[in-house]
Each structure stands twice: as structure tokens, then as C-alpha cells.
């Protein structure tokens, strides 16, 4: 039985960076939202600050669903770290699900989003949208008993990954008890 860790957080919170750190600690494959979205987004002529064309997420959603369907169909025993919502795929594989809500202060999030290196992976660099999202929305809460909530504003990716690994070990320990 594999573990499916789902990292949830706003753009710029560090999901991929944390996933890379965690992957080395728990031997897991990463399924990143940009790995799934970018084949479609690369077709566009966008600068990263303009609104995306209407309907684009329907195309990326189909591609994402194909990836999740393959994971469900073949139910690999490998551990996975998702930087996109994937709890249904985890449940369908009878895997242990560990959702992680990554929270970050609005100012720090805006600073992270403004980093020009984000454009290389077709990530948003729209600071105004980041601030607006922080003010009007919250990071999705799956209301799952294994959910871990971490404020990563001042935490290093390594420290965050260690906290997630500890949660995974706790959940696995609780299951075997």
C-alpha cells in the first residue's frame, strides 16, 4: 500500500520545492501540477500576468484526469507526492492519503510569486492576483483526518518536508497499531 501525499496551497507557496525535498526523504514520485498543465499552457502566447483564455483549464483538466486515471488503473505501489488535488485517485488505489495544507503570509507569498524564475516553468507572476487570492480565499481544506496544516512563511523547504515526513510516519504508525 503506497502513500499519496497531496500538497495544497496557493501559487508561490513552494509546493514543488517542498515536494522535491520530501521525495528524497520518503522515496516518492512527484506529480506536479505544472508537469500536467504545461503541455497545454506552452501552446499559448502568454506573458504570465495576463488572464488565461477562457476554457483553457478544461483542456488541462482532461490531461490531469488522464494522468490520475493511469495511476488509479495501475495502482502502483510507489509513493506519490501530488502538487494538485488528487485525493480521489489516492482513495481509488486504496492508498494512505496525507493531505497537507501549506499556508503563507500574504506579503511573503507576493514576494515569492514575483520571482522572475517562475516564468521558466510557466508559473504565474501576477502579484495583484496573488494578493487578491490571499485576501478573498483560503487554501482548500479536504476535511480529511490525516490532514496536516503548516505555515511555511518562515520555514525552509527542508524543515517543512521533515514535518510532512513525520506526519506520514505518524499516520502509518496509527494504521499499524
Taking CA atoms, 51 is separated from 57, 64, 163, in Å, by 12, 21, 35
pTM of the model: 0.88
> For the chain, what are the domain ranges?
3-176
Report pLDDT for 47: 63
User: Nine-digit cell at 10?
Assistant: 496557493
CA 63 to chain centre: 16
CATH pick for 3-176 out of 3.40.1710.10, 3.50.50.60, 3.40.190.10, 3.40.50.300: 3.40.50.300
Provide the residue-wise pLDDT of the chain in tens; the chain has 177 residues.
789 999 999 988 999 999 999 999 999 999 998 888 888 888 886 665 667 889 999 999 999 999 989 888 887 788 999 998 777 777 778 889 999 999 999 888 888 888 888 877 778 888 788 888 888 889 999 999 999 999 999 999 999 999 999 999 999 999 887
Report pLDDT for 148: 98
29 contacts 80 by C-beta, under 8 angstroms:
yes
User: By CB neighbour count within 10 A (0-12 exposed, 13-18 middle, 19+ buried), where does 147 fall?
Assistant: middle
Amino acid at each position: 500500500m503506497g502513500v499519496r501525499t497531496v500538497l495544497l496551497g496557493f501559487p508561490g507557496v513552494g509546493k514543488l520545492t517542498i515536494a522535491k525535498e520530501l521525495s528524497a526523504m520518503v522515496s516518492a514520485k512527484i506529480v506536479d501540477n505544472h508537469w500536467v498543465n504545461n503541455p497545454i499552457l506552452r501552446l499559448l502566447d502568454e506573458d504570465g500576468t495576463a488572464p488565461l483564455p477562457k476554457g483553457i483549464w478544461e483542456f488541462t483538466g482532461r490531461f490531469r484526469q488522464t494522468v490520475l486515471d493511469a495511476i488509479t488503473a495501475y495502482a502502483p505501489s510507489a509513493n506519490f507526492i501530488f502538487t494538485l488535488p488528487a485525493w480521489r485517485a489516492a482513495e481509488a488505489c486504496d492508498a494512505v492519503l496525507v493531505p497537507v495544507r501549506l499556508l503563507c503570509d500574504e506579503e511573503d507569498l507576493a514576494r515569492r510569486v514575483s520571482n522572475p524564475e517562475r516564468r521558466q516553468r510557466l508559473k504565474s507572476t501576477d502579484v495583484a492576483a496573488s494578493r487578491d487570492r490571499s485576501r478573498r480565499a483560503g487554501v482548500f481544506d479536504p476535511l480529511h483526518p490525516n490532514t496536516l496544516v503548516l505555515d511555511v512563511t518562515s520555514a525552509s523547504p527542508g524543515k517543512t518536508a521533515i514535518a510532512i515526513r513525520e506526519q506520514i510516519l505518524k499516520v502509518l504508525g496509527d494504521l499499524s497499531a
